């Protein structure tokens, strides 16, 4: 049987290896010492191999979020996302990265029933993707599951505050923690997630004062999204940050108008095709003189 050699210089699907060691779970956890993180953790979402390649040199962590349901598939929420979808995109992101720690979201319905169900789903994700960790939503109610997973070799990223998978219970995507009772519950959730063994957690869509308090009182690194600059790191949906959508949440800073760039390039291409100026002699094959 003959071997097939892939030219990494020309294959779109095969990234060229970059020397260096991939970021590990202990190194992320170790960034926070005695309640302080000297250098904030940089995290962005990634769903494809090519995007992972572009983001990897600049990020400590890449999150294959179930937000791909809306961003990639045009679904109304994250609820319909399946385990197979997460595995396919997670594997692509792992293939496209060499430096960042890759975490993959556990989709709705794949872990809530029991710790045993969560372990089966998480083990499947790790085997299929090669990622380093899984992320699951929920606070005190998920503490037993987080403990179960971490004691069986599966690193867990926690997620408290606004939890999109619970959108039907929450009644929408509004900011959480406005009232004292709800703020106390979110803080208790964060403490429970950390005590259960998560090595890092995402705090999403909460009042700034509450996010700052959580970052100070919880021993593990806290990654904010719509939270506080005093968190131990930040995460955004990359497509939001790049300006690929007309509407972006209040907490997103648009660093580029990529939608405008793409639309402009497509317009120019269409004009050249219709005027028959593309392809030119530079893009066609002719006999050598």
Q: Any idea what DSSP says for residue 111?
A: S
Query: What is the per-residue pLDDT across 232-265, written as a single tens digit (0 to 9) for each?
Result: 999 999 999 999 999 888 899 999 999 999 999 9
The confidence score (pLDDT) of residue 5 equals 47
Task: Find out whether 3 is annotated in a ligand binding site.
Answer: no
Which of the residues 204, 208, 209, 271 is marked catalytic?
204
Task: Find out whether 135 is annotated in a ligand binding site.
Answer: yes
Is residue 261 flagged as an active site residue?
no
What is the DSSP code string of 189-252? HHHHHHHHT-SEEEEESB-HHHHHHHHHH-SS-EEEESS-TTSSEEEE-HHHHTT-SS---TT-
Q: For the chain, which ranges sit under pLDDT 50?
A: 1-6
Class of domain 25-253: alpha beta
Task: Find out whether 137 is annotated in a ligand binding site.
Answer: yes
The confidence score (pLDDT) of residue 3 equals 47
Residues 237, 244: Cα–Cα separation, whole Å: 10
Residues 237, 68: Cα–Cα separation, whole Å: 9
């Amino acid at each position: 049987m003959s071997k097939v050699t892939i030219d990494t210089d020309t294959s779109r699907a095969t990234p060229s290896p970059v020397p260096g060691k991939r970021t590990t779970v202990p190194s992320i956890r170790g960034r926070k010492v005695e309640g302080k993180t000297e250098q904030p953790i940089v995290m962005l979402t990634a769903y494809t191999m090519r995007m992972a390649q572009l983001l990897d040199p600049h990020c400590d962590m890449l999150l294959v979020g179930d937000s791909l349901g809306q961003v990639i598939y045009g679904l109304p929420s994250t609820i319909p996302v399946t385990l197979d979808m997460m595995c396919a995109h997670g594997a692509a992101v792992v293939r496209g990265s060499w430096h960042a720690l890759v975490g993959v979201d556990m989709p709705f319905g794949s872990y809530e029933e029991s710790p045993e169900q969560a372990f089966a789903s998480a083990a499947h994700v790790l085997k299929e993707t090669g990622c380093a960790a899984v992320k699951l939503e929920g606070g005190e109610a998920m503490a037993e599951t987080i403990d179960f997973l971490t004691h069986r070799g599966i690193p867990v990223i926690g997620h408290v505050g606004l939890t999109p998978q619970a959108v039907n219970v929450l009644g929408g995507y509004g900011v959480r923690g406005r009232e004292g009772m709800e703020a106390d519950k979110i803080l208790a959730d964060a403490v429970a997630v950390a005590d259960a063994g998560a090595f890092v957690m995402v705090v999403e869509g909460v009042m700034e004062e509450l996010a700052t308090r959580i970052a100070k009182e919880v021993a593990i690194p806290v990654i904010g999204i719509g939270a506080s600059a005093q968190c131990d790191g930040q995460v955004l949906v990359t497509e939001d940050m790049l300006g690929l959508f007309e509407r972006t949440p209040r907490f997103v800073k648009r660093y580029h108008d990529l939608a405008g760039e793409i639309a402009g390039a497509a317009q120019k291409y269409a004009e050249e095709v219709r005027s028959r100026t593309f392809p030119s002699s530079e893009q066609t094959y002719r006999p050598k003189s």
